[in-house]
Amino acid sequence: MKYFFIAGEASGDLHASNVCEHLFEQDSHACIEAWGGDLMKAKGVYIHKHIHDLAFMGFAEVLMNLRTIINNFSLCKRQIRQSKPDVVILVDYPGFNLRMAKWCKQQGYKVVYYISPTVWAWKENRVELIRKYVDRLICILPFEKPFYAKHGIEVDYFGNPSVDIIESEKLKTSSIQEGKIIALLPGSRKQEISAMLPIMLEATKGLRGYKLIIAQAPNLKREVYEPYLANYAFEILQYKTYDILKVADAAIVASGTATLEAALFGVPQVVGYIANSISYAIAKRLVKVKYISLVNLILDRPALVELIQHDMTIENVRNELNRILFDKTRVSQIKSAYFELTSKLYKGNVSAQVAQVILQLVFKDFK
């Protein structure tokens, strides 16, 4: 059978790559093409468009790159027509993938959406797009299943794939020598690096005996980071995020998937985010959630401190970093929250079960 995946970001590439591995194992004739990254490519997937060229974030950034995005839609549609897949699997990346879901369904393709769009956060009316144009929706957050049930939509929830991945990683020895380490995870987009990395670095000044390690995003080149690194003692490593988190004493993390990953490794963290000012102003009017970090969203309480926009200052980051390094009560509170978080997320073998859903959908017409 022929499969076409569309993943537009590093986390989507990771989770899609694991599903692809199971598809190849269970379908000996599988032919998989995709928009994705190096992890999917390493599993034997043919990549038409790399995630390097796809990560646009925020309202203002989308407007500035509108022509490129429109051209990407045309290119993707053309490649799907040429591929003639039995199913299209959309992985997260909602601004692009919800539009592709509509087009794919109108063209007669079966559509699986893996990792639900955040319709529970804003633009709730997008639920109707999912109802109309998606054959199977697979969620990875526990509160999403009751949310969709409220709208009369049955979805699959097998747990969160990050738990499987990280539990496996914990069994491996880190390639990084243990010591007193602070991990900096400033995001996976250029504008995130420029907005937050200088603050993260400056906030760590004066902490004696600690080594700084920056997790370089897999989709970014080192030169993106270099303008901000003068006068700081640091190490910057690419493709080593999990190795860094295995040995880190604390982390400063840009809100996103990395907050969940740091939590699953048990690393106390400061969560921050600075968006383009126009994007932030628009989002503040539209977004309905109480928290920005996945940890707090899943637990539905402020287990982690979130420093958003103007609150993400050098002083505020430094103060909270000191708390998670030296305040034993605060660290104990965070560890307890992480235990509760894992219990809500873990079911096991998520990627294998996602592959099974895709195979069931594809092969049901051939029985």
> 216 pairs with which residues across the strands?
238
Same domain, 96 and 55: yes
pLDDT in tens, 168-217: 999 999 999 888 999 999 998 888 999 999 999 999 998 989 999 999 99
Whole-Å CA distances, 275 to 26, 51, 55, 215, 309: 42, 21, 14, 20, 7
**Rounded CA gap, 237 and 90, in Å?**
30
Alpha helix (H) residue ranges in 27-91: 38-42, 59-64, 66-83
Same domain, 226 and 341: yes
Same domain, 340 and 307: yes
Same domain, 214 and 273: yes
Query: Which amino acid appears at position 262 of this protein?
Result: A
Which is it for strands 156-157 and 136-139: parallel, antiparallel or unpaired? parallel
Same domain, 243 and 255: yes
Structure tokens at 84: 């003639």
What pLDDT sits at residue 365? 63
Same domain, 152 and 179: no
Query: Which amino acid appears at position 33 of this protein?
Result: E
**333 or 346: which carries more pLDDT confidence?**
333
What pLDDT sits at residue 65? 59
Query: If you average pLDDT over every residue of the chain, what do you get?
Result: 90
Same domain, 49 and 172: no
Same domain, 125 and 181: no
Domain around 109: 2-159+348-366
Same domain, 174 and 108: no
Q: Which CATH number goes with the domain that contains 58?
A: 3.40.50.2000
Give the model's confidence band at 320: pLDDT under 50 very low, under 70 low, under 90 confident, else very high. Answer: very high
pLDDT in tens, 106-154: 999 999 999 998 887 667 888 999 999 999 999 999 999 999 999 999 9
Overall average pLDDT of the 4-30 stretch? 95
Same domain, 150 and 197: no
pTM of structure: 0.84
What pLDDT sits at residue 118? 85
Same domain, 222 and 334: yes
pLDDT in tens, 229-249: 988 889 999 999 999 999 999
Same domain, 216 and 82: no
Query: Above pLDDT 90, what percent of the chain?
Result: 77
What pLDDT sits at residue 367? 45
pLDDT in tens, 45-92: 999 999 877 655 444 455 555 667 788 899 999 999 999 999 999 999
In the chain, the number of structural domains is: 2
Helical pair 10-26 and 161-170, crossing angle rounded to 10 deg: 90
The residues near 37 (Cβ < 8 Å, ≥ 6 apart) are 7, 10, 13, 47, 50, 51, 52, 218, 219
SS3 137: strand
